[in-house]
Structure 1
Amino acid sequence: MIAKKLILSCVAFLVAAPAVAQVELNTYADQDGHLDVQKLTCAQLAGTFQEDADYLAAWYSGWYNGLAKKHMVNVTRAKALQHEVIVYCKANPGKKVIEAIDVVFKEYRSQNNIKMKK
């Protein structure tokens, strides 16, 4: 009986939950086709197709690693952190993606006792 109520509750939730249409990343570009990555919101990232989110995550990774003059990538760790950024963004749609990256990376460094060089 409890299982039946649980299943019915889940179905009711899924039916009542609003559907979010996914859009292409270029939807957020300006008239010249440029995307301001410093203004992109978590809601926009979460609302794009997975392959566009993957592309954008790779772009951000290259950008940040270039700024840090790092020329290596740990693919497994990068994918895991990308997933964490997307999870954070889904929970915080009003934040900017760069803020989400900052939060996730600070948490990762703290958990792994990684100190940043000044």
Structure 2
Amino acid sequence: MRKLFVITALSLGFATGAHAQVPLTNYADANGYIDVQKLTCAQLAGTFQEDADFLGVWYSGWYNGLAKKHAINMPRAKEGVHQVIVHCKANPGKKVIQAIDFVLKEEKKKR
């Protein structure tokens, strides 16, 4: 009975295209660094939620630093990270920085 359950669960996972989540550290080089400009949406969407959120906040800080902003609007940052992750799940072939660019442009259109 247990074997049947395991086989059924595995079959359903493969049939739906489900993939196991992987730690963000899987994308790090030998020294532990992740090239954030090369990270793909598929990689971001395929990692654990807390890793995706962590990286999203890092990107937010990076972009705010480039813009010489020294403050964070927590609700807006969280929503932005969420939008990037949603966009990445729908567009796995894009790079994360392209998804961020898309989300930022959409935000500007709404204002």
Q: Same fold (TM over 0.5)?
A: yes
TM-score of the aligned structures, taking structure 1 as reference length: 0.80
Structure 1 position 93, deviation (Å) = 0.3
Q: Distance in 2 between matches of 1:73 and 1:43?
A: 27
Q: Which residue of 2 aligns with 1:91?
A: 90
Q: Which residue of 1 aligns with 2:102?
A: 103
Q: Which residue of 2 aligns with 1:73?
A: 72
Q: Distance in 2 between matches of 1:94 and 1:67?
A: 25
Indicate the RMSD between aligned Cα atoms, in angstroms. Answer: 1.5
Structure 1 position 14, deviation (Å) = 7.8
Q: Distance in 2 between matches of 1:27 and 1:14?
A: 22
Q: Distance in 1 between matches of 2:14 and 2:38?
A: 33
Structure 1 position 36, deviation (Å) = 0.1
Deviations 1:33-85 (A, max 9, x none): 11000000000000000110111011101111111110111111111111110
Closer, same or farther: CA 24–15 of 1 in aligned 2, 3 Å: closer
Closer, same or farther: CA 16–30 of 1 in aligned 2, 3 Å: same
Closer, same or farther: CA 80–22 of 1 in aligned 2, 3 Å: same
Which amino acid in 1 is paired with 2:82? Answer: H
List, as ranges, runs of 4+ consecutive aligned residues in structure 1 with deviation greater than 2 Å: 13-16
Q: Which residue of 2 aligns with 1:51?
A: 50
Q: In the alignment, is residue 60 of structure 1 matched against residue 66 of structure 2?
A: no
How many percent of aligned residue pairs carry the same amino acid? Answer: 67
Structure 1 position 92, deviation (Å) = 0.5
Which amino acid in 2 is paired with 1:91? Answer: A
Q: Which residue of 1 aligns with 2:5?
A: none
Deviations 1:84-111 (A, max 9, x none): 1011100100000000000001000111
Unmatched tracts of structure 1, length 5 or more = 1-12, 113-118
TM-score of the aligned structures, taking structure 2 as reference length: 0.85
Unmatched tracts of structure 2, length 5 or more = 1-11
